[in-house]
A = this chain, B = another copy of it.
Amino acid sequence: MKIGIVGIGHGKFGNRSDATVQELAFEPFKQAIEDTENLRRKDINALIVGSVPEYHMQRSLPGVVAEYVGMNPKSTWLTEAACASGSAAIRTAYMAIKSGMHDIVAVIGVQKMRELSTQEILALMGRVGDVQWESIFGTTFPGYYALYANRHMYQFGTTKEQIAQVAVKNHYYGSLNPNAYFQKEVTMEKILGSDDVAYPLKVFDCCANADGAACILMTNEKLAKKFTDTPIWFEGLGSASAQMSVLRRPNLVEIPSAVEAAKQAYAQVGVKPSDIQVAEVHDCFTIAEIMAYEDLGFCSKGKGGKFIEEKQSYIGGKSPVNVDGGLKAKGHPVGATGVSMTIEIVKQLRGDAGKRQVTGAEIGLTHNVGGIGQYTFVHILRR
Contact = CB atoms under 8 A, between A and B. Distances in A.
A165 interface: no
Given A67-B248, A78-B79, A241-B66, A60 B371 contact: yes
Interface in A48-104: 52-54, 57-60, 62-64, 66-68, 71-82, 84-85, 88, 91-92, 94-96, 98-101
Given A57-B127, A95-B96, A131-B58, A374 B79 contact: no
A80 B78 contact: yes
Given A53-B52, A92-B95, A60 B80 contact: yes
Interface string A246-276: 0010000000110010000000000000000
A76 B91 CA distance: 11
Contacts of A248: 67
B99 A62 contact: no
A241 B62 contact: yes
Interface string A351-383: 000000000000000000011001100000000
- Of A47, A60, A88, most buried by chain B (CB within 10 Å of CB) is A60
- Of A71, A124, A257, most buried by chain B (CB within 10 Å of CB) is A257
Given A53-B53, A62-B374, A81-B62, A71 B127 contact: no
Interface string A223-250: 0000000000000010111111100100
Contacts of A20: 132
Nearest to A257: B73
Given A128-B60, A241-B62, A248-B67, A78 B81 contact: yes
Contact of A242 (B73, B91, B237, B245): B73
Contacts of A128: 59-60, 63
- Of A73, A82, A128, A374, most buried by chain B (CB within 10 Å of CB) is A73
Interface residues of A, number: 62
A127 B59 contact: yes
A77 B73 contact: no
A34 interface: no
A58 B371 CA distance: 12
A130 interface: yes
Contacts of A62: 80-81, 241, 374-375
A199 to B, nearest CB: 26
The 6 nearest A-B residue pairs measured at CB: A63-B374, A98-B99, A75-B239, A99-B99, A77-B88, A77-B81
